């Protein structure tokens, strides 16, 4: 279907031609369609996967799959054969002894840092400025657990270095955090990531300093191919605890997995999961769909990364001659070379109104939707100034948060925009030329004069 | 199917006759069957309900149903047309302005008491000894939110009286709680409940004392018929915030609803929901099934209560001549007269081993399973002695908790047992005589001598 849409994009002025979405929706499909997929999978995981992937691909990837050994049973308050089997499968893939399903990553990671802190008798944590716990969880780490956070690194636009972590692990014991959290890749930085050798060094530093190291692996599935020759287990082995997401790249309905080889840690995780209201009477609707998504997408992320590389390259080639008034490229990617299937695409030198009009025009004329929406980009110095407020105090005033929120809305004064996107299964079937064509048409309109 | 099973129970010694389960499982059915129901409902709520209920009953109850006005959409991070419609339906039924779906009741109620406390600038809460927050949530109220709890009432085996609440609301302001939580009905007391007039008085007392009143309505659906002539809204109007469960009696997959007419309170609830890790990227698998369960069961609880009354009466009549060595009835109900579809059934004067053997024998001979499992009952003085430990200190030693847990396991020394059960749709079709027959057979075996 996606390839039909791609081909369709070449026929101009056919209002009935389906629109090719270069940036597909997360969780596209109505609940009826989604539940049909879940049910078909539950009836026979193998038949479902063979239908979706083909016999050949099914065989190639079958060593990666989590396939239930018996009819899927209903879990109750955390227990169940199927639930445990899936948890164990993910844990084993990550080289850990134990896995625990969580309904959200927020809960999984809050639980994790709380336990590491409690066991150390130390309520200090350390993470990057743009960590999910910092910017997207209503400051739960502080509001719920009263943890004190130190930032790692010198700028919120750079992935921390070994030296940055060393500055933390070499703090006096009474200032040192109980746990360092690394997000791998760093989503807010367009999925920039850490060299493997840095991770090895960081892991050693933490161990030597008696600081636990936790992996926010929300996009670990996506970044693993970057670490050529290293397995999920090789990466996870450097961390004491690892969280992975089951939706996002994997496309499950909702949920996350926390893994560790420390049995006592996992027992405590179950207790905190219940305390936070995450021990569900039944998880089967989420669990089954998450296993479906895992099996459908595991083993695809190298392909998706390669596709992102060729797509980004095609778009850059097609748009390189289009420049802002002061000579900067209108379109660029961050990072320049994709680290994985997900990236940030930037557009500068145009107001959001004009950009939106151009996008709509391309969609109408070429039946290509180049993106869905953008967010305003703030220059590095602006952002760091904003964040100094946060960095300085443990509990910034709500008005600062409100101001930042306000700033994150697009308005006419902004002329630099970006959006985050990833290559999904649907995108693999769209030819690079279609991306190039859509983006060139967009740039033409942007630079066409008043 | 249930009626076939009931009839089958009359044929003796037919090992192939299906066993009649007098105590049905919560959430019986495999995930495949459950997902089929969810999907069928999602495709057409009306067609599904007509098939399950019949055209006539569908029409009779249609004023109670939450029926989506358009094709069900996928919710995202708390927003969605279908989600909001269902939330609003439950809120309106309860006479409240706003509703918010939660994935667990634990999270809904923790959020509630936290907000009431924060707004009052007072971290004290008050509830009954056997409140869910007290006994089943790993002390989250204290461990997560550091709330201080006062017990309401003089004994953990009695529903609090107006005087008991008055003792709390008339405390000096600096000892008074921010919120009083009433569980209606009180599950741990076999669903004993408060007279409506008491609720009116309690509500007035709380208002006058500037204490918020929260309703733990996990079984509000079940108890509403008890308050003859009073609607859900009449009951809920006495409370500032109301939590109801969407599984249990309603039979949805998982989830709960928090309702209130206070917009600011609800905004804060969304913030705390996110902080606790309950703001899901998608809730549709739970939401749709919960709406299905709601529509399928709303309007059935008067019938189920009446059935429980006639079943309890039939069992008591059939077993009244069977006595323990010291002349007490072997079987009795708590409360004696059911308040709703749910109750405790007690069995005394027999060890758990002998009781289990008798149950198995009845199942084999009569193809009737009278119960699934029992818990040991502790006499009032024993329990109150145990609980004095909890009542005395804010943070009882773990060994006390461990000791209580140990005590809750069945062992050979116990000769008093009980179990909680409810009339579900499957039970309505089983004749009272089948219950009577099963229980009489059980008592015969228990008293038959070594």
Are B428 and B372 within one domain? Answer: yes
Domain-terminating residue out of B276, B297, B318:
B297
Confidence of residue A25 (pLDDT cuts 50, 70, 90): confident
The per-residue DSSP string of B337-384 comes to S-SSSEEEEEEESS-HHHHHHHHHHHHHHHSEE--S--EE---HHHHH
| Nearest beta carbon to residue A74 from set B31, B105, B279 | B31
B10 in a structural domain? no
Q: Say what angle helices A31-43 and A45-53 make with each other, to 10 degrees.
A: 120
The C-alpha atoms of residue B162 and residue A323 are separated, in whole angstroms, by 77
pLDDT of A9 > 60? The answer is: no
Q: pLDDT value at position A399?
A: 45
Q: pLDDT value at position A421?
A: 96
pLDDT tens per residue, range A337-363: 999 999 999 999 999 999 999 999 999
- Nearest-Cα distance to chain A for B103, in Å, is 7
- Nearest-Cα distance to chain B for A148, in Å, is 16
Q: pLDDT value at position A215?
A: 98
Cβ–Cβ pairs < 8 A, chains A and B: 171
Confidence of residue A408 (pLDDT cuts 50, 70, 90): low
Q: pLDDT value at position A378?
A: 76
Confidence of residue A394 (pLDDT cuts 50, 70, 90): very low
Domain-terminating residue out of B297, B327, B347:
B297
pLDDT of A382 > 90? The answer is: no
Are B292 and B178 within one domain? Answer: yes
Asked if B275 lies within 8 A of A140 by C-beta distance, the reply is yes
Are B239 and B105 within one domain? Answer: yes
The C-alpha atoms of residue A112 and residue A273 are separated, in whole angstroms, by 10
Per the document, the length of chain B is 450
| Nearest beta carbon to residue B284 from set A31, A139, A145 | A31
Q: pLDDT value at position B237?
A: 98
Are B78 and B193 within one domain? Answer: yes
Asked if A247 lies within 8 A of B281 by C-beta distance, the reply is yes
What percentage of chain A has pLDDT greater than the value 90? 85
Are B289 and B324 within one domain? Answer: no
Domain region containing A408: 302-446
Q: pLDDT value at position B11?
A: 46
B290 in a structural domain? yes
Are B374 and B280 within one domain? Answer: no
Q: What is the CATH number of the domain that holds A320?
A: 3.90.1150.10
The C-alpha atoms of residue B369 and residue B6 are separated, in whole angstroms, by 11
Are A95 and A207 within one domain? Answer: yes
pLDDT of A234 > 70? The answer is: yes
B409 in a structural domain? yes
Asked if A103 lies within 8 A of B32 by C-beta distance, the reply is no
Q: Say what angle helices B31-43 and B45-53 make with each other, to 10 degrees.
A: 120
Q: pLDDT value at position A397?
A: 41
Domain-terminating residue out of A262, A297, A332:
A297
Asked if A32 lies within 8 A of B43 by C-beta distance, the reply is yes
- Nearest-Cα distance to chain A for B447, in Å, is 36
A35 in a structural domain? no
Are A282 and A427 within one domain? Answer: no
| Nearest beta carbon to residue B74 from set A27, A71, A143 | A27
Are A318 and A420 within one domain? Answer: yes
Are B279 and B305 within one domain? Answer: no
Q: Which two tokens stand for residue A145?
A: 């657990």
Q: pLDDT value at position B450?
A: 67
B48 in a structural domain? no
A6 in a structural domain? no
pLDDT in tens, chain B (450 residues): 333 334 444 445 456 788 999 998 766 789 999 999 999 999 999 999 999 999 999 999 999 999 999 999 999 999 999 999 999 999 999 999 999 999 999 999 999 999 999 999 999 999 999 999 999 999 999 999 999 999 999 888 999 999 999 999 999 999 999 999 999 999 999 999 999 999 999 999 999 999 999 999 999 999 999 999 999 999 999 999 999 999 999 999 999 999 999 999 999 999 999 999 999 999 999 999 999 999 999 999 999 999 999 999 999 999 999 999 999 999 999 999 999 999 999 999 999 999 999 999 999 999 999 999 999 997 544 555 444 444 333 334 444 445 555 555 667 678 999 999 999 999 999 999 999 999 999 999 999 976
Our measurement of the distance from residue B402's CA atom to the centroid of its chain's CA atoms, rounded to an integer in Å, reads: 25
Confidence of residue A27 (pLDDT cuts 50, 70, 90): low
pLDDT tens per residue, range A157-190: 999 999 999 999 999 999 999 999 999 999 999 9
Are B291 and B305 within one domain? Answer: no
Are A377 and A314 within one domain? Answer: yes
pLDDT of A67 > 80? The answer is: yes
Q: What is the CATH number of the domain that holds A132?
A: 3.40.640.10
Q: pLDDT value at position A390?
A: 42
A72 in a structural domain? yes
Q: pLDDT value at position A386?
A: 46
Q: pLDDT value at position B7?
A: 41
Substitution target in A248, A281, A287, A401 with the highest count of B β-carbons within 10 Å is A281
First to last CA, chain A: 38
A386 in a structural domain? yes
Q: Which residues from B are below 8 Å from A73, CB to CB? A: 30-31
Q: pLDDT value at position A413?
A: 74
CB atoms within 10 A of CB A67: 13
Domain count, chain B: 2
Which strand (E) or helix (H) includes residue B165? helix B162-169
């Amino acid at each position: 279907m996606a390839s039909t849409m791609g081909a369709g994009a070449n026929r101009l002025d056919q209002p009935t031609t389906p629109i090719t979405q270069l940036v597909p929706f997360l969780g596209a499909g109505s609940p009826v369609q989604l539940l049909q997929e879940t049910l078909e999978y539950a009836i026979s995981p193998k038949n479902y996967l063979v239908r979706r992937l083909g016999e050949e691909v099914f065989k190639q990837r079958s060593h990666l799959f989590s396939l239930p050994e018996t009819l899927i049973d209903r879990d109750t308050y955390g227990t169940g054969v199927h639930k445990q089997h899936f948890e164990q499968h993910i844990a084993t893939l990550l080289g850990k002894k134990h896995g625990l399903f969580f309904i959200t990553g927020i809960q999984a990671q809050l639980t994790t840092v709380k336990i590491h802190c409690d066991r150390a008798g130390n309520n200090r944590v350390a993470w990057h400025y743009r960590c999910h716990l910092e910017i997207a969880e209503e400051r739960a780490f502080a509001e719920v657990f009263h943890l004190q956070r130190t930032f790692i690194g010198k700028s919120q636009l750079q992935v921390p270095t070994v030296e940055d972590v060393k500055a933390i692990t070499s703090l006096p014991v009474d200032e040192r955090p109980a746990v360092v959290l690394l997000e791998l890749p760093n989503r807010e930085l367009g999925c920039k990531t850490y060299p493997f050798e840095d991770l090895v060094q960081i892991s050693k530093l933490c161990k030597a300093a008696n600081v636990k190291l936790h992996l926010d692996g929300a996009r670990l599935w996506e970044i693993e191919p970057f670490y050529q020759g290293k397995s999920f287990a090789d990466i996870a082995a450097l961390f004491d605890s690892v969280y992975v997401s089951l939706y996002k790249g994997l496309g499950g309905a909702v949920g996350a997995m926390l893994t560790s080889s420390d049995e006592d840690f996992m027992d405590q995780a179950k207790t905190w999961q219940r305390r936070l209201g995450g021990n569900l009477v039944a998880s089967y609707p989420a669990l089954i769909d998450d296993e479906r998504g895992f099996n459908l997408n595991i083993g695809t992320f190298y392909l998706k990364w390669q596709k992102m590389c060729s797509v980004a390259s095609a778009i850059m080639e097609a748009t390189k001659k289009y420049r802002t008034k002061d000579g900067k490229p209108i379109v660029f990617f961050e990072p320049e070379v994709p680290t994985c299937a997900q990236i940030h695409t930037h557009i500068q030198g145009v107001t959001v109104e004009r950009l939106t009009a151009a996008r709509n025009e391309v969609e109408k004329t070429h039946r290509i939707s180049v993106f869905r929406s953008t967010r305003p980009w703030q220059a590095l110095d602006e952002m760091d100034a904003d964040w100094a407020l946060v960095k300085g105090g443990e509990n910034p005033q709500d008005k600062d948060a409100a101001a930042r929120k306000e700033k994150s809305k697009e308005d006419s004064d902004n002329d630099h925009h970006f959006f985050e996107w990833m290559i999904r299964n649907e995108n693999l079937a769209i030819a690079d030329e279609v991306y190039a064509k859509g983006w060139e048409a967009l740039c033409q309109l942007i630079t066409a004069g008043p």
